[in-house]
Chain A
């Protein structure tokens, strides 16, 4: 067992983990943060996307020990503490950007990270940015519209 200390959703969490424990299982099984899903085991689908030090990563491809001393944010912390939805969450709801919901946490986290890099993307850029996140239900069209809408809301709010 290895001791790690990870700041998860703003709270410092200390834990003993097996060195081989994947970050996603640390989050799900040890911390009970089951919003992050596992879809493929081969880092193809992106259902497990979380933020590590502010950047999106696939938590099935990282070991928990690699997060030692770093900050992780999961879908559970995307909305404000008072429950106010992130503009992306609100846009996914309004544009029917989700169906079964299984890819949704990963999609939202990937998109939130991407919009920080590129706050005013084109449709093609949004599609490109989602290449690592698979959805079997929506055909992506409404996801793309949700992200473009949220980008507009967020950049509009800033300006």
Chain B
């Protein structure tokens, strides 16, 4: 069986190779399989009636006209759901949320009733014929209104809830921070609002619930980034035995956090399928997606930075108001009420910090999710990076110099922050130096001087972010008690090909390619020979899913570890084939050889065949393993972004003329995919900085309910990006990778905004809240012109 080792074996396309994506073959031919592409025999269609009021008492629902429409099979109301104890459901943060309203509506767009019909058009027609009797109530649309003593109580159905306050949360050391501030020469402060935005994946949410009345088996096709967690939640909500629930998350047309929570539509469709004995499909339209599903941010921030006159940072104080909407459905790890916001000291070495946060109910949509960010690190990064630039100008320093003076140095890692994170590794000076070099910072500053002399508004903005991703270690990170650990199973077939089953769920990140590359790196089977299975809870190991840049830190690690387990067994089989002791077998992928006799060797493919055909006595046949990974720590990607803008004084229109992004996400598995992730994040960051906002009028009407009002960047205004990289491996991750999906959305908004503020600084402009629409920029310029 032993074969000669081939010196000219094809290079294994493992880590560091820009392998073209396996996923593309179906997508470029229009052969993707998204939720709305799935059609089951006998399928019914569901449409949801939503509340036109933001806050109103429900007096009654008359569905008789809707029931009478030919083709309507059923109308589901809160009353019917209540009979089955399904009118309310738990949220990801342990609160409750109405599935269909029974007492009063609490936000515009809330689910009031659902029509199930033979045809989707008929279902929508019938929704219009449901008569609902409401009494409008006073409305709360901001946390400032919510905390007023005379504010209407939104969650009056909750025992003991006498106001709109949800939580108070603190992190860091208040006394130490007070002492740091007492030592300061200067305190720079900033009040800024990080507006409500929406992830708005191009595909909306939806599901097809298929409950078999005979077997009790519920197969639910669902747009879910976290199918395993959803299965457990469904078992808890509906009381269905968990083994009878199968969640299948098909191809997802983007997610960005929007497809993490459980939405009422999923529960109603499942209940309807259970009651009617037929599959029920529910697909949101775009307006429903924007007005009712997981928004992001909506965070009012006050920050104070204490410094010495020489620029030394001493401490940071922040106080925060979170607008959580009508139900607290914010998908955050249980312990951390405002997520990982306490990473707010960012890339800087300072001795003290204190974070105080309060969350409030308002009459707005629930479901706060981290739109392409790890649990509010975006808000944190934005606040510190804005503060640092303002501090630099107030001290008369260059913002690059102030950052470099205070960066945590390379030799300080692992570095414990004043709020308790232990940063794994970093080289902040290296990333910044590269960004400044790439953009030609010194020359740009000179050019800015010349342009300013000509009366032009030119700005340069920097942001040096540090993220906290890869949640996480079991002692600190859980959602609803489920520890944030993830699994991988690897099976090698007799012919030397394999299947990797993972708990994460790709939404465009390319897991089918990247994770196969990790296996290739570890065991020497080419990535095209490893099929990657994901999204089907019956056929993948348990795990908490894909969001918060956690797939590579958790599932990527599990994949490396399970590959090593497979190699442990493969080594024993190789020893048997080579007729030597296991200790005498060396593995240099893809070849096992005899120590000291490298010509005597077998490949992993030989071993795989032997695992089913010629294994030693006493050994189990087969070549497979499973691994659940509990990360020892988070990972901390970082980078520096540099933006140059030109602002038109007369119109407020601003254009990005340069955008340089230097990212350090540790080891890059597939550089092409990493760069694609960064491009996408830089674009969504630009959208957030420039145009994306879900707003409400004073009566709680949602403005931003379609792509005409909720603006997304097009190819025309999206900047051309210039990328750079440094590589500082994570010391605790098996392959040194840190995760990258969200770095650019986290880091870039502050860079864009800092650039515009830099342009307007000489006029006296100190802050404009995002999004920096041309109208807002123009108003800021005009206000600065006006005599004080």
Q: Which residues of A contact B (CB under 8 A)?
A: 18, 20-21, 28, 33-42, 44-45, 47, 74-76, 78-79, 85, 89, 92-94, 96, 98-105, 108, 126-128, 130-144
Contacts and interface: CB of A to CB of B under 8 A. Distances in A.
B551 interface: no
Nearest to A100: B508
Interface in B368-419: none
B671 to A, nearest CB: 10
Nearest to A95: B672
B216 interface: no
Contacts, number: 167
The secondary-structure label for the interface of chain A is loop
Given A40-B706, A96-B21, A102 B31 contact: no
Most chain-B Cβ atoms within 10 A of its Cβ — which of A21, A38, A94? A38
A105 B24 CA distance: 12
Nearest to B252: A100
Contact of A102 (B202, B673, B683): B202
Interface of B: 20-21, 23-32, 34, 36-37, 121, 200-204, 251-256, 285-287, 507-510, 672-673, 675-676, 679-684, 706-708, 712, 714-716, 718, 720-721
Contacts of B509: 99
28 contacts: A18-B121, A35-B29, A39-B204, A41-B286, A44-B707, A45-B707, A74-B30, A75-B30, A92-B24, A93-B24, A93-B25, A94-B20, A98-B27, A100-B27, A100-B201, A100-B202, A101-B251, A103-B253, A108-B28, A131-B714, A131-B716, A136-B200, A136-B256, A137-B680, A138-B679, A138-B683, A140-B683, A141-B721
B508 A134 contact: no
Given A39-B204, A101-B251, 14 more contacts: A37-B203, A76-B29, A93-B28, A98-B27, A99-B254, A99-B508, A100-B508, A102-B32, A102-B201, A102-B254, A134-B202, A134-B714, A139-B681, A141-B679
Contacts of A104: 27-28
Contact of A42 (B25, B27, B32, B707): B707
A102 B716 CA distance: 20
Contact of A136 (B20, B510, B684, B708): B684
Contacts of B708: 42, 44
A42 B254 contact: no
Nearest to B256: A136
B676 A138 contact: yes
Contacts of A45: 202, 707
Nearest to B283: A38
Contacts of B681: 139
A105 B253 CA distance: 12
B706 A37 contact: no
A39 B286 contact: yes
B126 to A, nearest CB: 15
A33 B32 CA distance: 11
CB-based closest 5 A-B pairs:
A35-B30, A101-B27, A102-B253, A100-B508, A75-B30
B125 to A, nearest CB: 10
Contact of A134 (B24, B37, B707): B707
Contacts of B25: 93
Nearest to A36: B30
Contacts of B706: 40-42, 44
A87 to B, nearest CB: 11
B254 A137 contact: yes
Contacts of B253: 37, 39, 100-103
B578 to A, nearest CB: 41
A18 B121 CA distance: 10
Contacts of B675: 96
Contacts of B254: 99-100, 102, 136-137
A104 B484 CA distance: 33
A93 B21 contact: yes
